[in-house]
């Protein structure tokens, strides 16, 4: 089939056939293979909850962990954001990685928790998502076109070069605390749910608290954030209070 320009493309196309910029995939020049096209289309249909289209994309060779070049989001991120449970479960069954992070460092579990979807949170936890995964380099795509063109394989993000000590400005303790809380709020599922007062999600995440949480600094920081959020919201939901670990104040000291 010959490729043509977007202007000459037929108008009778569904939303699932459109690219990120509204350009029909079937008419985008430079697509390397049908699997690249299917991988990019998977991002759209997963967010829309079209399970049949998700299955077709996977059958056509779509990579379950294909990431949007600009945001780093995978199909699992988009299904989690909108609580598209059947699509989410189909992606997990196909081997989608629930620990994959986007360019902001957010996992699908964060997206589900931040959006307030307890069912999606439970499905991701059952599918292997970890509340406090071990830190590592983010797997992201190199910048490129949405639908392939050879830039579709995940690569390790390059760490930022530290500034010379003479250029670094020392942070005050309060500023360090604010920066740490902001980082938690924007990357940690438990902190995001607590800040938004999404207590059913908080309860689901507390049930997934790892047994060795006392030896994990991110877990302790998140629990400290949760206590702050409970006090700030002046909320004392029984299902959350009852799930707090025993002797919590000693663990947070």
Q: What is the pLDDT of residue 7?
A: 32
Quote the pLDDT of residue 217.
85
112: enclosing H helix or E strand: helix 108-115
Give the largest Cα separation in the chain, rounded.
68
CATH 1.10.357.10 fits 15-130, yes or no: no
Residue 245 makes CB contacts below 8 A (sequence gap 6+) with: 209, 213, 223, 251
SS3 for 208-228 is CCCCCHHHCHHHHHHHHHHHH
- In the chain, where are the structural domains located? 15-130, 179-252
**pTM of the entire structure?**
0.71
DSSP 3-state assignment of 141?
Answer: strand
Dihedral of the alpha carbons of 195, 205, 101, 39, in degrees to the nearest 10:
-120
> Coil, strand, or helix at residue 142?
coil
Which residue stretches of the chain have pLDDT < 70? 1-32, 133-178, 180-181, 247-253
Q: Which residues contact 135 (CB under 8 A, 6 or more apart)?
A: 218
Give CA–CA dist 129/52, Å, rounded.
24
């Amino acid at each position: 089939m010959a490729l043509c320009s977007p202007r000459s493309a037929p108008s009778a196309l569904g939303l699932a056939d459109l690219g990120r910029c509204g350009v029909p995939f079937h008419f985008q020049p430079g697509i390397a293979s049908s699997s690249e096209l299917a991988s990019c289309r998977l991002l759209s249909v997963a967010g829309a909850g079209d399970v049949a289209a998700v299955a077709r994309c996977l059958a056509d060779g779509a990579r379950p962990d294909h990431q949007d070049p600009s945001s780093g989001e995978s199909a699992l991120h988009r299904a989690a954001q909108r609580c598209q449970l059947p699509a989410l479960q189909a992606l997990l069954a196909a081997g989608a990685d629930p620990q994959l992070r986007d360019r902001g460092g957010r996992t699908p579990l964060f997206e589900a928790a931040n959006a307030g979807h307890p069912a999606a949170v439970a499905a991701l936890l059952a599918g292997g998502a970890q509340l406090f995964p071990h830190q590592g380099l983010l797997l992201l795509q190199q910048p490129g076109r949405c639908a392939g063109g050879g830039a579709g394989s995940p690569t390790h993000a390059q760490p930022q070069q530290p500034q010379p000590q003479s250029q670094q400005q020392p942070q005050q303790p309060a500023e360090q605390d604010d920066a740490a809380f902001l980082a938690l709020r924007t990357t940690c599922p438990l902190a995001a749910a607590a800040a938004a007062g999404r207590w059913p999600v908080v309860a689901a995440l507390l049930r997934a608290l790892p047994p060795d949480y006392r030896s994990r600094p991110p877990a302790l920081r998140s629990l400290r954030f949760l206590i702050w959020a409970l006090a700030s919201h002046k909320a004392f939901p029984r299902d959350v209070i009852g799930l707090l670990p025993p002797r919590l104040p000693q663990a947070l000291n």
